[in-house]
Amino acid sequence: MLLEDYGSSYNIIQGEVFDKHCISCHIAGNTYAAESGLILTADISYESLINVIPNNENAAGDGLFRVSSAGGIQGTNKSFLIEKINAPNMDHFYDDHDEYGSIMPIGPLYLTNGQIDFIWDWISEGAPDTGHVANLAFLDNIERYDPEFTPLESPDNGIQIHLGPFEVETQQETEFFYYSELNINEVKYINRVEIEMRSGS
Query: What was the pLDDT predicted at 143?
Result: 96
Task: Please write the tens of the pLDDT for every residue from 108-156.
Answer: 689 999 999 999 999 999 999 999 999 999 999 999 998 777 888 888 8
What is the pTM (predicted TM-score) of this model? 0.78
pLDDT at 169 over 60: yes
169 vs 29, higher pLDDT: 29
d(CA 39, CA 161): 41
pLDDT, tens digit (0-9, with 9 covering 90-100), for 19-75: 999 999 999 999 889 999 999 999 999 999 999 999 999 999 999 999 999 999 999
Residues facing 131 on adjacent strands: 8
What are 4-20's pLDDT values in tens digits?
A: 899 999 999 999 999 99
Q: Cα angle at 119 between 109 and 26, to 5 degrees?
A: 55
| Residues with Cβ within 8 Å of residue 13, at least 6 apart in sequence | 118, 119, 122
